[in-house]
């Protein structure tokens, strides 16, 4: 089966921070033709006179912008309903709001209901892939994967491992967390486009025994991901030091238990020491940058330039429910402000790269998704340049591609997402 679309196209080939000439980082085709065959990209070329004859059934979306789907490298689906919970920083926020909410996911039917809502919300916001936390309950992960499988979505998820420092009703044990995670890996990892992530919540909620078994699991299944949190909040870092006095610091805990590496994704990484930056680089570990969460929870300002200097891959993330929006456009507008507060800049090219190819690279998914190279899986979004009167007025006063895209990044959100395609199929669209 064949889908052919005429529109404007933007995608990235390289990290804007790694090219001398920005034109080598992206491709923009103002009148282009995307040909999709069997869910994969067959070609993306400029439209020409012959195209119309060759493809009489082409869909004409001139006036709209097509980009690769956004990728969210860190998000908690069970926290969907508790987004924007008032007033606390990380540790109190977990106790007050997060743990009671996550309790409900023991009920598979409830997990199913929220999984459906969550996936629809991702698609509505133009997000076609995500690395997702479940809860401690294995049923929560079954429910999410079952829903993702229905639309053949590229999703990575895992059951939280947590055997101390949380309410009893949310605790597993070192052994049960190992057994349950292993069973989920056997059941789901590489089933279609689904992959598994070993998910110790963060160092404070795991005993050394649990981290030992998490590391053992990673050694048994090197192809599986690891996802957790790292150096988000000052009190959290002090707490880790008191719980693991024998370790050199927060990241050293994870490294000691064999949890660093190319497919290990550490959310936040705001307050790292120089030695920890070196460790991330040496182990080829990856950072999930969570702008709206870092501001909402008052965690701090992530230093993106430092990650580039150390060649540590960075993906963009919402971290809902610590984050306040599912929209990666909103993540980027907050990322821009985070850089401004540090006297730094975030170009729109770097930003949109982060939301697409950069996140794909950080998750080692770039051989499958992230741009429109031939053979990649056709996950993409159709954007309206202007979704509000204010955006329309702003664009009328814009005369360069870079400025138009910047306005989209700063003012855009889910209202700008007209439709979303996964594996070449339309999975979400606004009513015209």
For the CB of residue 181, give the shortest distance to ligand GUN in the complex, in Å.
17
Residue pair 32/5 in contact (Cβ under 8 Å)? The answer is no
Residue number, 32 or 322, with CB nearest to ligand GUN: 322
Sign (positive/negative) of CA torsion 367, 361, 345, 323? Answer: positive
Q: Does position 15 bind Fe ion by CB under 5 A?
A: no
Tokens representing 338? Answer: 């985070």
Alpha helix ranges (H) inside 19-133: 49-54, 90-93, 99-102, 108-124
Q: Select from 9-17, 37-45, 90-98, 107-115 the region that touches ligand GUN (CB under 6 A).
A: 90-98
Q: Which does 94 bind (CB under 5 to 8 A by kind): Fe ion, ligand GUN, none?
A: ligand GUN
Residue pair 292/318 in contact (Cβ under 8 Å)? The answer is yes
- β pairing state of 154-158 and 127-133: parallel
Query: Which candidate, 425, 287, 272, 421, places its Cα nearest to that of 361?
Result: 287
Letters for 241-270 (x = contact with Fe ion by CB under 5 A, - = none) are --------------------------x---
Q: Does position 319 bind Fe ion by CB under 5 A?
A: yes
Tokens representing 10? Answer: 């933007």
For the CB of residue 76, give the shortest distance to Fe ion in the complex, in Å.
6
- Of the candidates 8, 98, 195, 318, which one interacts with ligand GUN according to CB under 6 A? 98
Sign (positive/negative) of CA torsion 361, 367, 369, 372? Answer: positive
Segment 255-314, which members bind ligand GUN (CB under 6 A)?
293
Residue pair 426/372 in contact (Cβ under 8 Å)? The answer is no
Residue number, 325 or 347, with CB nearest to ligand GUN: 325
For the CB of residue 98, give the shortest distance to ligand GUN in the complex, in Å.
5
Q: Which does 315 bind (CB under 5 to 8 A by kind): ligand GUN, Fe ion, none?
A: none
Residue pair 293/321 in contact (Cβ under 8 Å)? The answer is no
- Of the candidates 229, 263, 271, 418, which one interacts with ligand GUN according to CB under 6 A? 229
Q: How far apart are alpha carbons 78 and 133 in whole angstroms? A: 8
Residue number, 10 or 295, with CB nearest to ligand GUN: 295
- Of the candidates 47, 105, 202, 302, which one interacts with ligand GUN according to CB under 6 A? 202
Give the single-character DSSP code of 388. Answer: S
Q: Which residues bind ligand GUN (CB under 6 A)?
A: 76, 90, 94, 98, 201-202, 229, 232, 293, 319, 322
């Amino acid at each position: 089966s064949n889908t052919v679309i005429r529109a404007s196209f933007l995608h990235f080939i390289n990290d804007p921070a790694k090219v001398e000439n920005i034109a080598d980082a992206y491709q923009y085709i103002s009148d282009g033709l995307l040909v999709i065959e069997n869910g994969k990209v067959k070609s993306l070329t400029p439209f020409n006179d012959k195209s119309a004859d060759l493809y009489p059934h082409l869909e004409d979306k001139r006036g709209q912008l097509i980009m690769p789907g956004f990728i969210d490298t860190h998000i908690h689906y069970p926290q969907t309903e508790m987004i924007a919970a008032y007033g606390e920083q990380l540790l109190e926020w977990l106790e007050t709001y997060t743990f009671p909410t996550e309790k409900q996911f023991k009920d598979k039917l409830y997990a199913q209901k929220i999984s459906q809502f969550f996936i629809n919300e991702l698609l509505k916001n133009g997000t076609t892939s995500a690395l997702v936390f479940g809860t401690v309950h294995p049923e929560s992960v079954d429910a999410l994967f079952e829903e993702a499988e229905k639309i053949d979505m590229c999703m990575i998820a895992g059951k939280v491992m947590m055997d101390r420092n949380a309410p009893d009703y949310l605790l597993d044990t070192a052994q049960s967390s190992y057994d349950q995670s292993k069973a989920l890996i056997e059941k789901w990892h590489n089933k279609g486009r689904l992959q598994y992530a070993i998910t110790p919540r963060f160092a404070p909620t795991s005993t050394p025994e649990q981290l030992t078994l998490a590391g053992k699991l990673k050694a048994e299944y090197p192809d599986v991901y690891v996802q957790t949190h790292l150096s988000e909040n000052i009190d959290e870092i002090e707490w880790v030091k008191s719980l693991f006095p024998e370790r050199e610091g927060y990241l050293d805990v994870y490294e000691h238990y064999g949890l660093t590496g190319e497919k290990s994704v550490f959310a936040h990484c705001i307050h790292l020491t120089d030695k920890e930056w070196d460790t991330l680089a040496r182990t080829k570990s990856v950072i999930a940058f969570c702008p709206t969460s870092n501001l909402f929870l008052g965690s701090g300002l992530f230093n993106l330039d430092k990650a580039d200097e150390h060649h540590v891959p960075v993906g963009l993330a919402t971290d809902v429910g610590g984050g306040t929006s599912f929209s990666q456009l909103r993540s980027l507008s907050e990322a821009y402000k985070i850089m401004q507060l540090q006297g730094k800049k975030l170009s729109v090219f770097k930003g949109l790269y982060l939301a697409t190819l950069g996140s794909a690279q950080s998750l080692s998914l770039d051989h499958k998704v992230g741009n429109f190279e031939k053979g990649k899986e056709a996950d993409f979004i159709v954007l309206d340049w202007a979704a509000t009167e204010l955006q329309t007025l702003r664009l009328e006063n814009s005369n360069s591609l870079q400025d138009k895209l910047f306005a989209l990044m700063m003012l855009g959100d889910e209202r700008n997402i007209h439709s979303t395609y996964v594996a070449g199929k339309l999975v979400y669209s606004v009513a015209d």
